[in-house]
Amino acid sequence: MTTAETNAPTAGTRWTGAARLLVATVAAAGLALLVSLGVVLHQYGPGRMWLGYLGGVALAVAAFVVAGWRVRRSPDRATPLERALVHAGDERDDDVLTRSLAVVGIVAMPATAVATVIMAAGAPAVAVSGVLVWGLLMLLGVAFAVINRRR
Amino acid sequence: MRNEIRRLREERGLSQAALGGKLGVSRQTVNSLETGRYDPSLPLAFTVARYFDLTIEEIFHDDR
């Protein structure tokens, strides 16, 4: 088997014990951090924002789990986005993701500056921050789709 | 960048997915390579050349 064939995406790829432990540890730590932020929101956040936040976290975790399952079971049928989500993409997938994140990075600086000015002018900080975060997330999605199509 | 990948692949009766499996990339990447929308990295270019038993210059043509 050539090097390329050993590197090719294969269904049911086995992970080593150390890799499994590392992934599980990072996932657990990340989940603990996200849930902790939810608790902080519950204590100090406005209204029922903590519910929406935890709902969003659950959605994101579910998307990650589904993507990871699809990539491991049928790597040839997984989409570039799914492969990018679980860091199992080939060089083109990585290139598309890198360029998409670069677009978001370029926009994030002036967008944050504008958001700061808007908040300084008296707009509610939570609302402006939410719009900023969601706006950048949507931009990432659009940039990924456009760049994936053009590359 | 123009290249001969599609012709070489079809001569061997391979699908894009099958060639992708041989090269260690996805079907979408093979499609992007064939249409010239994506230029491979040097390691991938060498992998393609080795697979088809040709030189990189025989497969990829610089239009500049």
Could you give the ipTM of this predicted complex?
0.88
- What span, in angstroms and rounded, lies between the C-alpha atoms of B17 and B31? 9
Q: What is the pTM of this model?
A: 0.77
C-alpha Rg value of chain B to the nearest Å: 10
- What span, in angstroms and rounded, lies between the C-alpha atoms of A110 and A143? 17
- What span, in angstroms and rounded, lies between the C-alpha atoms of A89 and A41? 35
Q: Strand runs (DSSP E) across chain B, as ranges?
A: 2-3, 60-61
Residue of A1, A92, A95, A147 to mutate when probing chain B, most B C-beta within 10 A: A92
Mention every residue, 6+ apart, whose C-beta is less than 8 A from residue A125: A119
- What is the mean predicted confidence (pLDDT) over A49-59? 88
Bridge partners, residue B61, by sequence:
B2
Average pLDDT, chain A: 86
Is A133's pLDDT higher than 50? yes
* B29/A92 Cβ within 8 A: yes
- What is the mean predicted confidence (pLDDT) over A82-91? 85
For the ranges A28-32, A38-42, A111-115, the one whose mean pLDDT is highest: A111-115
Q: Please count the residue pairs, one from chain A and one from chain B, whose beta carbons lie less than 8 angstroms apart.
A: 56
* A8/B44 Cβ within 8 A: no
